[in-house]
Amino acid sequence: MASQDWVEKDFYSILGVPKDASDADIKKAYRKLARKYHPDQNPGDAEAEKKFKDITEANSVLSDPEERQQYDAIRAMGGARFTAGGPGGAGQGAAGFEDLFGGLFGGGAGRHSRGFNTGNLPPEFADLFGGFSTGGGGFQAPPQRGADRQASTTISFAGSIRGTTVGLREQNGEVIEVRIPAGIRDGQKVRVRGKGGPGSGGAGDLMVTVNVTPHPFFTRDGDNIRIHVPVSFDEAALGAQIEVPTLDGHTVRMKVPAGTNSGRTLRVKGQGVKTSKGTGDLLVTVDVVVPQNLSKEAEEAVRAFAAATAKNSESNPRSGLAAKARL
């Protein structure tokens, strides 16, 4: 059944094809745009999801010869749109139509058509008014899409980084495979098309909320990954090149600048979470480790260090603390 809002939508423009495009051209344009804006390729992107719905609607109309003929005819005539209703309310026969087809039905501009029979309409318009009757029956509602269903699943941290597939079992035993894209965040949703509630206009979708199990070492911060790495006192004081673990199981070398304090965070570019939109960084927080058991030689070296820096005010970590504590 033709939709009353077709007049407001330029399906040819949505697919980027001319009005005389062949069926093959329409199919080719749809497939290209569907791949680009598919929700699986753009998780969490509301704008991409809307574009995907518009593209799908445009293709469903233009790929059907009968619906395309009706659409072209409606667009050529200017379409039909609804008003809030004339005297007697929207339920009184044809009252409630703004007569954009006044010439077609013999009415003048600004008038409302009453009691017309769909048999007087050209075939391309018959479907548009197919549910109308002179007894005030109104229009038949268009086929309704089924309601979306909700579900949730829990995956490992590694699964969220690399992507994975999980199986959700229905009460009837059917297993629905859900593809989880790489880089998904805790709490994000994945849409499984056509696995929702049934409807005359097609089944709804299944919306799966993904919960991610925390990792004992890696912590996610947006698309960045945070870790804590211990360094020795001499590495922090003198500077060093150290190796730190990354998400892919390898290590990278990182420079610890001389004089690095415990708690300082250093950045390793491009070693974070990889998504379709880019790659985050690895944020390394340095924890300076104080040795618990010193050998005699090490203890003497520390005492020598303390003596050598005793007269240097910068070596006193509590310098100026009293001034800050004044009320």
Q: What is the pLDDT of residues 249-265, one digit of tens each?
A: 899 999 999 999 999 99
- What is the distance between the alpha carbons of residues 30 and 56, in angstroms, rounded to a whole number? 8
Least confident of 50-64, 172-186, 202-216, 249-263: 50-64
Distance between CA atoms of 228 and 244, rounded to whole angstroms? Answer: 10
Phi, psi of 168 (to 5 degrees): -105, 125
199/8: higher pLDDT: 199
Residue predicted with more confidence, 313 or 72: 72
Q: 313 pLDDT band (50/70/90 cuts)? A: low
* pLDDT at 222 (0 to 100): 93
- Does 97 or 122 have the greater pLDDT score? 122
* Amino acid (1-letter code) at residue 75: R
CA distance 319 to 324: 10
74: amino acid identity, one letter: I
pLDDT at 121 over 50: no
Q: Which residue has the tokens 């109309």?
A: 61
The residue count for the chain? 327
User: What average pLDDT does this structure show over 290-299?
Assistant: 90
pTM higher than 0.85, yes or no?
no
Q: Residue 128: left (phi > 0), alpha (psi -120 to 50), or beta? A: alpha
Question: Crossing angle of helices 46-62/23-37, nearest 10°?
Answer: 160
Q: Are 197 and 170 in contact (CB under 8 A)?
A: no
- DSSP class of 26: H
CA neighbor of 69 nearest in space, from 141, 117, 125: 125
Question: Average of pLDDT values for 85-113?
Answer: 38
The pLDDT score that the predictor gives to residue 151 is 93
> What percent of the chain stands above pLDDT 90?
43
Cα 23 from Cα 171, distance rounded (Å): 41
pLDDT tens digit sequence for 108-117: 433 333 333 4
pLDDT score at 242? 96
Residue 96: count of CB within 10 angstroms of its CB: 18
- Over residues 207-230, mean pLDDT: 95
pLDDT one-digit tens code per residue, 39-66? 878 888 888 888 988 898 888 889 888 8
| Mean pLDDT over the full length of the chain | 80
Q: Mean pLDDT over residues 120-149, rounded?
A: 59
Structural domains for the chain: 6-126 (1.10.287.110), 149-212 (2.60.260.20), 219-315 (2.60.260.20)
Confidence bin at 270 (pLDDT 50/70/90): very high
